Amino acid sequence: MGAAIFEETGITASFNEVIVELIRGIRTHFAKIIKKIDENDLNKAQLGLSHSFSRFKCAQDVNR
C-alpha cells in the first residue's frame, strides 16, 4: 500500500509503532477531534461494523 501511495502522490509512507499509537489515539478521541460527529452515533456505527464483520467471518467459516 505504501508503494501505491508513493506512486500516486510522491509521499513516502511509513508504518511503525509510533504510527500505531497515533492511530489508536485518533480512534480513541475521534468524537472529540471531529466536532460534527456525536459520540453516540460513532458508537452505533462501530457496533454495526463489528456485527457486519462477525457475520462475514461466520459466513466464511466452513466449520459453523
25 and 45 together in one domain: no
pLDDT of residue 35: 83
- The x, y and z cell numbers of residue 38, run together, are 456525536
44 and 62 together in one domain: yes
40 and 18 together in one domain: no
17 and 40 together in one domain: no
* Residue spans of the chain under pLDDT 50: none
45 and 59 together in one domain: yes
pLDDT of residue 25: 93
Total number of domains in the chain: 2
pLDDT tens sequence across 42-55: 889 889 999 999 98
User: What is the residue range of 50's domain?
Assistant: 36-64
pLDDT of residue 42: 85
d(CA 40, CA 25): 18
pLDDT of residue 44: 92
47 and 59 together in one domain: yes
Q: Which residue in the block uniquely carries the three cell numbers 463489528? A: 50
29 and 43 together in one domain: no
